Amino acid sequence: MPILGVNIDHVATIRQARYREVPDSPNASPDPVEAALIAEQAGAKGITAHLREDRRHIQDRDILRLREKITTKLNLEMGASEEIARIALEIIPDDVCLVPENRREVTTEGGLNCADQLDELRPLVARLKGRGIRVSLFIDPDEAQIEAAAELGADFVEIHTGAYANAAGSGAELKRLITAAGLAVAAGLRVNAGHGLNYHNLRPVLAMSGLEELNIGHSIVSRAVIVGMAEAVREMCSIIAEA
């Protein structure tokens, strides 16, 4: 059964909407680290946070506190940036997931084009793995990207499920996900998945071969606004367990 990793970026987004200019305010809330600890207590087996170059939501201090306080595992999402790489190599998260990063986007849209960035990504992957960090590449469900991920020596691919989610769970997009997962396993890669998954479209995705982890953020944080973080996480864990 795959585990649930909870992405807490959007908790930080809410905080930054009010406290971006006064980050040290004692009133700055909500605290993404507190949210992470509640998510763990409710059944999450990992916490994901994306430290962007523009620091639009998660801040450096959040990553440091997460590394100190969570008891499951820390999955640091990051672009292929030397600045962020230095931070990763200092704090040593359990996992790093390399993602594309575009400052004009609201959230990450589309997978990393590994096939066209082999020379750029190869030394970064090697540096991270050299410090004992597991490396995942966030890619579209595309054979060429899977082959590139294997060539780069990644431990995992996180298959981008956004097209499936945006197409309202279409059979064709689901088939792409299932096919890609099978190709990844055959290539010796471990498989995670995420982006746009929610309480309504998740169940079919659990048919993906070798699926180890689901990284879900927006739908859980959105649900938490209504029922609280603990209940939102428990509900998602229940869907995974029942399937």
Active site residues: 50, 77, 195
Between CA 213 and CA 72 the distance in angstroms is: 13
CA distances from 164 to 155, 160, 176, 195 (A): 24, 9, 9, 9
Whether the upstream peptide bond of residue 30 has omega within 30° of 0, thus cis, is: yes
Q: 11-20 long-range contacts, Cβ below 8 Å, gap at least 24?
A: 11/35, 11/221, 12/49, 12/57, 12/58, 12/59, 12/62, 13/56, 13/57, 14/221, 15/57, 16/56, 16/57
**Residue type for position 36:** A
**Residue type for position 79:** G
Cβ partners under 8 Å of residue 22, min gap 6: 28
Written as six digits, the tokens of 26 are 């004692």
Between CA 225 and CA 43 the distance in angstroms is: 18
CA distances from 46 to 88, 237, 238 (A): 17, 12, 16
**Residue type for position 8:** I
Cβ partners under 8 Å of residue 107, min gap 6: 9, 218
